[in-house]
A = this chain, B = another copy of it.
Amino acid sequence: MPLSRTTRCNCIQISNRSVNPKSLEKLELIPASESCPRVEIIATMKKSGEKRCLNPESKAIKNLLKALRNERSKRSS
């Protein structure tokens, strides 16, 4: 596999740490493609704007996706 394929990925370091849904600005999921052979999940944090790559297979991301989907209009009050 040529090196160039790997170097087009967005993520270098991938974290297994959990992310608080409330401090999350947005979450980007980028499917595997010709330019990067793996799924990438990039969390953008609210205050700092910091971007953090998350492990798609970690428990943390499963819980985060679940929390986001269940959030709905809870804050609409």
Contacts and interface: CB of A to CB of B under 8 A. Distances in A.
Given A56-B68, A65-B65, A68-B56, A73 B29 contact: no
A38 B72 contact: yes
Chain A at the B interface: SS class: mixed
Interface in A50-77: 56-57, 61-62, 65, 68-69, 71-76
| Stoichiometry (number of copies) | 2
Given A56-B69, A61-B69, A69-B61, A75 B37 contact: yes
A8 interface: no
Contacts of A68: 29, 31, 39, 56
B1 A76 contact: yes
